[in-house]
Structure 1
């Protein structure tokens, strides 16, 4: 199976590397050349441009946001270059509106399309243990399964409309942001009365919230370890905004998301946009006079 892969950021590079190591023929493209060169050294081929994927059966894209997806996949001709019957797997976290637009464009062009954003940080991607949130026609999901088996620990299917997977990812990221926010506020409360925020978070993540997300982000908050960013705070703001847009489109009130958006903006205003989104916890600490 000939595979194309567009978007070799920290997540995409790890994912594409795993496909090459698994023996797939992989052609890659990225705006910066360093990760392309690294993949070529592993055995991948280099595409000349986003429009150089007419020879692939499956195109996988892992891009940062709506604007980049629109530019690279649509404006720069990646989708248009695909031959009729090819499959595109969009693994980016995008808005509901863009997901629906991409679905329509693929149908008009006679292409298969799957929405398949993922849960997991870079170390999880490197280990091939991502949770893949997928939606699309059953036959297309079956075609994609050999790739998903390399990239992830499990594929969770959420319907036949690709956009459904994107809504699920936004909902999941909203829950993660909520966990960071509540741990940040709770640890600030403990610190405000002379207690140890680190000890509190250690207890919390090993008792009532002994779950991977709480452990990971609780540890980052406890040790104020916000660099290097596994997922930038600016991207967290983007995803909360997209969740609010999806809520409005579905007439679903999300009052806590509105509050968190303002807290993300507070962090951005203090120059934290490039830090890990666990740095959202600094907002509560700063307001309490603890940092």
Structure 2
């Protein structure tokens, strides 16, 4: 397929490379042009409009503001050459996903929300789990692209915003797991048990899953750099979850506590560290450095 890719951070570069390896023709654009040179086999283009064309366009931008600025305010949906479908893989708000679906419908461009679960190292292997929602016909056309970028695509029906709600729910659970491990480790340390030993036990028995094992290893080693997914982005996702919850009248009291702890972590200088650094909040509160 002829594919345009917009947004070449660590995750975007990995996904674009997967598409190249699968044999697709890939045009790439990024707001920082040097990033476009980092995808071997892809063709950098000078404007976002040249990437937002062809059989499909894929976007992997940092947040609501970036996606809205490039796609909507940038006028890409009004351009004469538009893609057959737009695969939006960013973690964005449910409200923006709903708006984008309506805007794309008016423009006559199929819109699929397809946020992902997994870190950049997983993306490099084409092993992400992808949550997808949108028109079934468009999802079928996007199948070869989704298969190239992920190990499995989990469909959630014809309403695009539902995929974004699923992604935010998953990220809420992920941040909750980190908070729980941080508090548990601080508790164990208070009783003379090494937090690393506790986490080694629990992440290999009761909680032997990728999230607990991966983030638990970082907490145990007090290792938060380089970040796989930085804490500031995790804070953004919790804010989005709380806003989406309020919109449908769903209380999320623990998400509110997580938001405050993430704000504290950022205030203490951990915003650009790995999300696992959230565990340092509990450690500091218990008197550990």
| CA deviation after TM superposition for structure 1 residue 237, in Å | 0.5
Could you report, residue by residue, the CA deviation over 1:4-59 in whole angstroms, capped at 9, with x for unpaired residues? 000000000000011112110000001122321122xx221122111223641100
**Unaligned regions of 5+ residues in structure 1, if any?**
none
* SS across alignment from 1:52: helix
TM-score between the two structures when normalised by the length of structure 2: 0.97
Task: For residue 137 of structure 1, report the CA deviation from its aligned partner.
Answer: 1.1
Residues 175-199 of structure 1 show CA distances to partners (whole Å, capped at 9, x for unaligned) of: 0000000000000000111111001
Q: Deviations over 1:130-170 (max 9, x none)?
A: 00000011111111110111100000011111100000000
**How far apart are the structure 2 equivalents of 1:54 and 1:171?**
29
d(CA) in 2 for partners of 1:284, 1:82:
54
The answer on whether the counterparts of 1:51 and 1:80 sit within 8 Å (CA) in structure 2 is no
Cross-structure match for 1:66 = 64
Q: Distance between the aligned counterparts of 2:106 and 2:51, measured in 1? A: 18
Q: Which residue is equivalent to 1:179?
A: 177
Q: Residues 237-252 of structure 1: matches in 2 within 5 Å?
A: 237-252=235-250
Matched residues in 2 for 1:179 and 1:38: separation?
34
TM-score, L = length of structure 1: 0.97
Q: How many Å separate the matches in 2 of 1:98 and 1:34?
A: 28
Give the distance between the partners of 2:171 and 2:15, measured in 1 at CA.
Answer: 20
Asked whether 1:224 is paired with 2:222, we answer: yes
Query: 2:18 & 2:255 partners in 1: Cα distance?
Result: 35
Q: Deviation of residue 220 (structure 1)?
A: 0.7
Q: Deviations over 1:64-120 (max 9, x none)?
A: 001111111111233333646710000000001111110000000000000000000
Q: Distance in 1 between matches of 2:198 and 2:189?
A: 9
Query: What is the match of residue 34 of structure 1?
Result: 34
- Equivalent residue, structure 1, for 2:212: 214
**Matches of 1:28 and 1:175 in 2, distance apart?**
33
Structure 1 segment 88-237 matched on structure 2, within 5 A = 88-237=86-235
Counterpart of 1:43 in structure 2 is: 41
Quick check: 1:270 aligned with 2:236? no
Q: Cα RMSD (Å) of the superposition? A: 1.2
Q: What pairs up with 1:70-85 in 2 under 5 angstroms?
A: 70-81=68-79, 83=81
Q: Are residues 82 and 115 of structure 1, via their aligned partners in 2, closer, same or farther at CA, if it must alter by over 3 Å?
A: farther
* Aligned residue pairs, count: 289
The 1:82/1:198 distance shift into structure 2, 3 A limit, reads: farther
Kindly indicate whether the alpha-carbon contact (under 8 Å) linking 1:53 and 1:81 is maintained by their aligned counterparts in 2: no
Secondary structure of 2:50's counterpart equals coil
Q: Distance in 1 between matches of 2:228 and 2:52?
A: 33
